[in-house]
A and B are shown apart, each in its own frame.
Chain A
Amino acid sequence: MSQMATRQWMTTHEWMVKPMHQREWIERRGIMIWIAETFTSLGAGLYLVSLFINSWWGLLVGWLIIMFLKLPLHIAYFGKPLRFYRTLPPFSNAWKTSWFARGILFSVFFGTFGFVQLVFGQPDLANLIGNSIANPIYYTFGVLAGISAVGVGIYGGFIMNYVKGIPFWNQGLLPVVFILAGVADGFGLAMAVGLAGGDASVSWAETGSSYLLIINVLLIIVYLISARYTSEVAKISVKELLTGPSAFMFWGGLVTLGMVVPAAISVVSLFSGEIPTVLLIIAIVAHTLGAFALKYCLLKEGIYRPLLPRVAAY
């Protein structure tokens, strides 16, 4: 019998014998995790950037993304969505060991603190009750919401980084990639808020976006190089990312849309001084699609080390 026939015959039994992709968080309903993770990045990033540039509209959009896009998607992914309360104290004290539980707590804190900040930052209300009362509350809850937003933006990185069986994720740099990519996405969306007539400075956001873009490009290069030398399986992940089935998402989505297009538009602005609105919109859309591509690449290339030791150990 030919070797080929043997291979086909064994297909169902090759589970965890060779490097195997994780599927739960990227295929079928797992797509919700991918989208929710991207919204996490966009929402938390926008909130942090908006805190920095003091944009109430940016804060509002960031808060809405987390509360009405990210959280519902995460909960909808659960096999038992109505039991989501069981992840929170006092029903569970898992936050002591689980980054997942910590992430849910961060999201709850963020929702609460962010809401109070938004209420007291609302110009009409602030005028009504007086700035001397509204401002201290606004800034106090701004700090709390900001800390929670950092937690929301970074916990996904720790969740994945904890998985010992997937060497591509099991890298110390992953949480840093998550939070910095989130801030870069936040600058992109802040431009959109400014363009839509909000109180965010478009030029400021555009400058911030350019700097973060450079940092993120370097970070991703370092991450891939570091992963490549971690283990044979992580090397397979990197190889698949660069030349395998995920290459389209990596080169087309992450590199071209997420990096090259915004960078090219930044260069145009450097020489021309002012960027046409159309180009800005293209940059924002490309940047956001790049955010989706980054999370897709990371989730898709989560490959487990085989269960059995071999001579050429993975």
Chain B
Amino acid sequence: MRWGMVINLKKCTRCHACIAACRIEHFLPMGMNWPRLIAWETDVPGEELTTIPVRCNQCKDAPCVEVCPAEATKKREDGIVYVDNDICVGCRYCIIACPYQNRTFLSRDKDPGYFPGYERTRFEKAGRKIYPHVVGTTEKCDFCMERIDAGLAKGLVPGKDREATPACVNTCQSRALTFGDLDDPESEVSKLIKEQNAFQLHPEYGTDPAVYYIDGKIGNAPSNIAPREEQTASHIQHLSTMEERAKQIFGKK
């Protein structure tokens, strides 16, 4: 059994709901990102950007596992790579070694609380009991392994039953994210990979990522690009919170 994900870029509407769902699910600190949506400028006038969801690829031959001097980064039998924050020494070699840059070091300034200068809210405090988010250690996406484990214990099937499926997959309104067992040829992910020629990021590194992408045109003319005006309101709203300049641009509109 090896858990994997297929991201269909043709279906992604760039709503950022997966980012929000992960943040809520794991009570992520303010400056921490597990999954990301990265924007890619195209050369086509009028079609300025496309957005690609990225997260830890849960590589089969994960460089982060090999380089960790404290064996804090571990790989489970089901292929999920996770960080044991009680062991991590915070040397950041895993961050350097990850060719996909999908790890983040939780420094003190990345964890100011959601209301900096004020005491943590009850919600934040409750979250810290479930996910301690140890400052001085490294974090990354773990495919919501707690949900998977709890779901499997109840006899549920990750990828099919919501309770056993990663939060980002559950929340994706356009069903761009599909989760399942890569080793099962009958699983939806295996079929998608086979039928739609899904590809991995930088396969030449030999890491064999468990996250696949569907978009026959990527690298040339991505199929999910759209003029900025056609982007969803939530996307615009999210971006507008990211940078002062964006506020100015959208403020004028």
| Partner-B contacts on A (CB < 8 A) | 1, 5-17, 20, 22, 24-25, 77-81, 83-84, 86-87, 91-94, 97-101, 104, 159, 162-166, 302, 304-305, 307-311, 313
Decide: A24 near B218, CB < 8 A? Known: A15-B36, A78-B91.
no
Closest 3 CB pairs of A and B: A79-B90, A79-B136, A165-B99
B92→A25 contact, CB < 8 A: yes
Q: How large is the interface on B (under 10, 10 to 19, 20 to 34, 35 or more residues)?
A: 35 or more
Whether a CB of chain A sits under 8 angstroms from the CB of B176 is no
Complex interface: chain B residues within 8 A of A1 (CB): 228, 249
9-residue interface stretch from B66-74, B118-126, B148-156, B159-167: B66-74
7 A-B pairs within 8 Å (CB atoms) are namely A1-B228, A79-B135, A86-B89, A94-B68, A100-B91, A164-B63, A307-B202
Decide: A310 near B242, CB < 8 A? Known: A77-B91, A94-B69.
no
Known: A7-B41, A9-B243, A20-B101; 15 extra A-B contacts, CB below 8 A, are A1-B249, A6-B41, A16-B54, A24-B95, A80-B88, A83-B87, A92-B71, A93-B71, A94-B71, A98-B93, A100-B91, A307-B100, A308-B219, A309-B202, A313-B219
In the complex, how many angstroms separate the beta carbon of A76 from the nearest chain B beta carbon?
11
Which residues of B from 166 to 208 have beta carbons under 8 Å from A?
A: 201-202, 205-207
A78→B67 contact, CB < 8 A: no
Complex interface: chain A residues within 8 A of B52 (CB): 307-308
In the complex, how many angstroms separate the beta carbon of A249 from the nearest chain B beta carbon?
20
Main secondary structure of the interface of A (DSSP, over half): loop
Complex interface: chain B residues within 8 A of A10 (CB): 39, 41, 48-49
B40→A163 contact, CB < 8 A: no
In the complex, how many angstroms separate the beta carbon of B9 from the nearest chain A beta carbon?
10
B71→A6 contact, CB < 8 A: no
A17→B70 contact, CB < 8 A: no
A311→B219 contact, CB < 8 A: yes
In the complex, how many angstroms separate the beta carbon of A154 from the nearest chain B beta carbon?
16
B205→A165 contact, CB < 8 A: yes
Q: B252's closest neighbor in chain A, by CB? A: A1
Q: How far is the CA of A81 from the CA of B91 in the complex (A)?
A: 9
A12→B243 contact, CB < 8 A: yes
Complex interface: chain B residues within 8 A of A15 (CB): 36, 38, 101
Q: A100's closest neighbor in chain B, by CB? A: B69
**Which residue of A5, A81, A305 contacts B249 across the interface (Cβ within 8 Å)?**
A5
B39→A165 contact, CB < 8 A: no
Complex interface: chain A residues within 8 A of B69 (CB): 87, 92, 94, 98, 100-101, 104
A83→B243 contact, CB < 8 A: no
B66→A98 contact, CB < 8 A: yes
Complex interface: chain B residues within 8 A of A164 (CB): 63, 99, 205-207
Complex interface: chain B residues within 8 A of A80 (CB): 88-90, 134, 136-137
**Which residue of B72, B97, B242, B245 contacts A163 across the interface (Cβ within 8 Å)?**
B97
Q: B63's closest neighbor in chain A, by CB? A: A164
Mask: chain B, 93-123; 1 = CB below 8 Å from A; 0 = not: 1011111110001110000000000000000
B70→A86 contact, CB < 8 A: yes
Q: How far is the CA of A307 from the CA of B38 in the complex (A)?
A: 10
Whether a CB of chain A sits under 8 angstroms from the CB of B37 is yes
Complex interface: chain B residues within 8 A of A310 (CB): 219
Whether a CB of chain A sits under 8 angstroms from the CB of B246 is yes
In the complex, how many angstroms separate the beta carbon of B12 from the nearest chain A beta carbon?
14
A163→B71 contact, CB < 8 A: no
A311→B97 contact, CB < 8 A: no
Q: How far is the CA of A91 from the CA of B87 in the complex (A)?
A: 10
In the complex, how many angstroms separate the beta carbon of A275 from the nearest chain B beta carbon?
42
Q: How far is the CA of A8 from the CA of B41 in the complex (A)?
A: 12
In the complex, how many angstroms separate the beta carbon of B219 from the nearest chain A beta carbon?
4
Complex interface: chain A residues within 8 A of B54 (CB): 16, 307
Decide: A87 near B70, CB < 8 A? Known: A17-B41, A165-B99, A307-B54.
yes
